[in-house]
Amino acid sequence: MGLRRDTLETAGGLQAVVNQLADDFKLGELVRRLGLRIVLSHYIPETVQEERSASALITHEVRWMRTIRAVAPGAYRFLFLSFTLPLQAAGFTLIAADPGLAIHLLPLLWAALLCRVGVSLAPRLAQRRIPLSDLCLLPVRDLLLFWAWSCALFTSRVSWRGSEFEVGIRGVMRGSV
């Protein structure tokens, strides 16, 4: 994020967002309330996962999911629909229980799979880089996201830089005891 110092001060300064789990979102909201325009950059950011262990990665993913839950609780409940592998497992389980459902579910399952691959390929195409060697990791990624979503759905705690925090309804963090 980039903003002028006077805009930050008028919005309440960093003190206004210091205890917010989604501090960047809250800061944008405060700027918008001032009647100022928010502009998205035309640059495409890249994200690099640098966690040194699976445990650290899961902790990070759960914190991100908890952030989404704080910012958009209604939409969060339906986020699981974007996790292809768990949906496909449920679909094939339903087909196994009632083969007559196959005619309705198989096209949906194929469409979900194609959409998931498309979402993964879109940034690669935009950057004209098309390595496909890691596409086999999509099921692992889907399972990780589904696990993090499930964990964040049932917890009000997050770990951040070695500290534990309770997260309130509006994303306000308090140190855990």
Q: Quick: pLDDT tens for 104-116.
A: 888 888 888 888 8
Q: Is residue 5 part of a domain?
A: yes
Confidence of residue 128 (pLDDT cuts 50, 70, 90): low
Number of domains in the chain: 2
Q: Is residue 116 part of a domain?
A: yes
> Do 61 and 146 belong together in one domain?
yes
Q: Is residue 114 part of a domain?
A: yes
> Do 1 and 33 belong together in one domain?
yes
Query: What's the pLDDT tens digit per position in 129-165?
Result: 666 677 777 888 888 889 999 999 888 888 887 888 9
> Do 34 and 66 belong together in one domain?
no
Angle at 173 between CA 163 and CA 169, to 5 degrees: 135
CA dihedral 82, 70, 1, 176 (to 10 degrees): -120
Q: Is residue 48 part of a domain?
A: no
> Do 109 and 167 belong together in one domain?
yes
Query: What's the pLDDT tens digit per position in 16-50?
Result: 998 899 999 999 999 999 999 889 888 877 777 78
C-alpha span between 21 and 35 (Å, rounded):
23
Contact present, 151 and 65 (Cβ < 8 Å): yes
- Residue 29: the pLDDT is 92
Give the residue among 60, 18, 19 at the shortest CA–CA distance from 166.
19
The mean pLDDT value of the chain amounts to: 85
Residue 176 has pLDDT above 70, yes or no: no
Domain extent, residue 112, equals 53-175
Contact present, 85 and 139 (Cβ < 8 Å): yes
- Residue 6: the pLDDT is 95
Give the residue among 156, 159, 161 at the shortest CA–CA distance from 171.
156
Mean pLDDT over 58-84 rounds to 89
Q: Could you identify the residue written with the tokens 């990624």?
A: 141
Please give the structure tokens belonging to residue 172. Answer: 């306000």
